[in-house]
Every structure is written in structure tokens, then in C-alpha cells.
Amino acid sequence: MSTFFLRPCLRRMLSDRGGNFGIMTAILAPVLLGAAGMAIQVGDMLLSKQQLQEAADSAALATATALANGTIQTSEAEAFARKFVAGQMANYLQSGTDIKSTTGVNVQTTTSGNSTSYQVTVSPSYDLTVNPLMQAVGFRTQRLSTSGTTVGGHSQTQGSISMFLALDKSGSMGEDTATVNKEYPTESYTYKCNPYYNKNGKEVWDTCTGTRTNYYTKIQALKIAAGNLFGQLNSADPNAQYVRTGAVSYDIVEYSPSNLAWGTAGVTSYVNALQANGGTNSSGAMNTAYTSLTAKNAAGNDAEDSTHKLKTGQIPKKYIVFMTDGDNNNDSSGGRSYDTLTKATCDTAKSKGIEIYTIAFMAPAGGQALLDYCASDDAHYFQAEKMEDLLAAFKAIGAQASAQVTRLTN
């Protein structure tokens, strides 16, 4: 009896279609949400991949260009490229994403004669967090990666230069700077002490010894700064084939110069032998610097140009480096006639295409004004108020001159 009763009930329940939509919706909802999330995510991924590709290409191009221009060295290329990628992607990355550490950089350098090429490959990647719809069906992140490659390079050519230094060695160059001598930071000195009266009733003093801070003198600072300049020129022209240098020193009078010669050995010895003494008169030294660079040979041609052409086939770039720490003095006009003569030489030199670098080293207003006038332009004038400024000035001059000697053509 019970079986007879249940059978119709089961048949009716199994044949009822009233709940199918709810069941199918429950089953298909996750699939539909996942599909919708996938569609949205694919669009986001394509955009992010495009942004990442553009960053990779730009970083590869920027790094190859910087290597070719000499702005960075190969040892710096990896950090440069990673920083560039991070900068390009800064507005697109999700918070906390460190793309620098996941960016690969490969630099291949090829050298043939005087030409160098750089193949730079930048391969950034990062994990992109997916949208909530994708997360609902079990996804968390999607790895994005790409790669960009660029080839850049340069050919290196040598340029010729002739440089003549006119250097002040007046008595004030023996004064101390404010920079402690690194090699000998202290020095011993003697002084009078313990006064007393001798048996004749005369006051006398003992001699005592003390220790005090030892500072570089200005002439010592000049020797170090000039030595750094010569070192830069030697690095650019190790075989002394393209660089000729000379120097003249002055106080109230002009001293015998170190004549123009290949390399820097002669001027290095000359500068290292300078001793501070005397007044200041720059007119003769500047005239010697100018005439040394423009003297004529027996054939009536420019001697310096001919010397370079014979060895390198080039016309040299010519420089004067003019340095003083004081005012011209000891003439009836208080040094002003010396200023006038010096300015006339500077005018003539500049009209002949000679570049004049000037350094006023802890100089008073008159000396600053003279050197500012003589400089080729504002970028060629250096006002050095301390030893570190003097070193920086000579370093900047050395960098400019060395760039002329070693020229890069992309």
C-alpha cells in the first residue's frame, strides 16, 4: 500500500521542471563570472603589456645612447636601465611592485678599431594582480614580461690641442689655504717662551717647540690642481701624440717659460718647481702665452699649426689657462697699466680663436675683474674661494680639453 502511494509522487517530482533555471544559474554563475573577469582582465593585460614593452624599448634605447655618448660606463648600464624602466612604469604599477629587481639587462660590447657598438637588451617583468572576478574563480596574479633590444655605438677620433698656462707665483701664493694637508696634517714650530732676566738685567726668552695644524699653501694647491689637469690630458693622450703643453710663471716679473712640447712632462716639472715670492704683474706672462701659441716658423707659417699637421695632419685647438691670486701692482698706476696690457693680449688672443680659461684663486676684486674680462665667456671663468674650488676648476678645464682630444662620433 505504501509503495503504491509513493510511486506517483516520485513520477510527479521527477517530471517537474519548475526549479531548472535556479539550478542552472547556480551551476553556471561561477563560469559566467570567470568569463566576464577574463574578458576584462585580457584587456587590462594587453594594455599593461603594451606599457611594459614601451618601457623596455625606451630603456634599451636610452642606455645604448648613454653608452655611445660616454655618459655612462658599461658597469653602470644595468642600474641605469633598471632605473629608467622604473621611471617609465611609475604611473602604471600597482602599489608595492618592485620592477627594478625583476628587470634583466644584458649589454654586449663589440669593438673594431676605433669603433665601438653596444647591443643593449632590457627584459622587465612583474606580477599583475588580477581583478576580483578572476580571483573568484581561483586566479591571483598574472606574470607579464617582455624584452627590448637596441644597438648603438660610436667611433673615436683624436683631436689635437696646444695649451699654455700663465701661472701666478707671487708672494701671496705662499699663504695658507683653509684645507688641512692630507699627508702632513700637523707641523712642529718654535716660539719664544718663558721670559726672564739674565745676570745683566736684560730680558731674554727661551725657545719652545709646539705642534699646530698644517694647511696647504696656495702654491701647493696650485701644483696639485695642475697635476690633476695634466693627468687628465695624459689619460686622453697616453702616447703624447696629440697634446702639446707649455707654461710660464710670473710675480712682478716674468720667468723663463717651459716651451711648448709634446705631452705634459715638461710643464709638470716646471710647475712643481715653482716657489712663491714677489709682487704681481701678469702682462708679460700672458703675452708669452699668446705669442708661444701663434709664433711663425721660418716659412712664415703658424709654427704650432705646422708642428701638429706634420705629426697628426690636424690643426690644433689652442688654449690659455690664466691664473692669479691677486691684483697687478707696483706700477705708477697701482697696477692698472699692467691690467691694460693684459687685457689687450686677451682681446687679441680671443680674436684669433684661442680659448682662454681664467681662475681667480682667493683673489681680491681687482684680480677677479681682470680674469673675468679675459675669459672667453662666463663658462671659462672660475672664481675659486678655497682649495677645493681650485681643484674643481682645473678638473673642469681638463675635462673640456680631454673631450677635444678624445671625440666620440655616434
Give me the tens of pLDDT residue by residue for the chain, a chain 410 residues long.
455 656 666 566 556 555 555 555 555 555 555 555 555 556 677 888 888 999 999 999 999 888 888 889 899 999 999 999 999 998 888 788 899 999 999 999 887 655 678 899 999 999 877 666 655 555 677 788 999 898 876 555 668 999 999 999 999 999 999 999 999 999 999 999 999 999 898 999 999 999 999 999 999 999 999 999 999 999 989 999 999 999 999 999 999 999 999 999 999 999 999 999 999 999 999 999 999 999 999 999 999 999 999 998 899 999 999 999 999 987 777 778 999 999 999 999 999 999 999 999 999 999 999 999 999 999 999 999 999 999 999 999 999 998 888 754 45
335-344 residue pLDDT tens? 789 999 999 9
All structural domains of the chain, each given as residue ranges with its CATH number in brackets, are: 25-155 (no CATH), 161-173+216-409 (3.40.50.410)
**Pairwise CA distance, residues 114 & 116, whole Å:** 7
- Give me 3's grid cell: 509503495
**Pairwise CA distance, residues 290 & 286, whole Å:** 6
- Looking at residue 94, the DSSP 8-state letter turns out to be P
The answer to whether residues 180 and 213 touch, using CB atoms and an 8 Å cutoff, is yes
The predicted structure's pLDDT at residue 21: 53
19-67 residue pLDDT tens? 555 555 555 555 555 555 555 556 677 888 888 999 999 999 999 888 8
The predicted structure's pLDDT at residue 69: 80
3-state secondary structure of 401: helix
The answer to whether residues 318 and 161 touch, using CB atoms and an 8 Å cutoff, is yes
**Pairwise CA distance, residues 373 & 315, whole Å:** 27
Amino acid identity of residue 174, one-letter, is G
Which are the contacts of 28, defined by CB distance < 8 A and separation ≥ 6?
none
Q: With pLDDT > 90 as the criterion, what percentage of the chain qualifies? A: 67
- Looking at residue 246, the DSSP 8-state letter turns out to be E
- Total-model pTM: 0.63
- Rounded to a whole number of angstroms, the CA Rg of the chain reads 38
Average pLDDT over all residues of the chain: 87
CA-closest candidate to residue 43, choices 122, 136, 148, 128: 128
Which segments of 247-360 does DSSP mark as H helices, in order? 265-272, 283-294, 303-312, 336-351
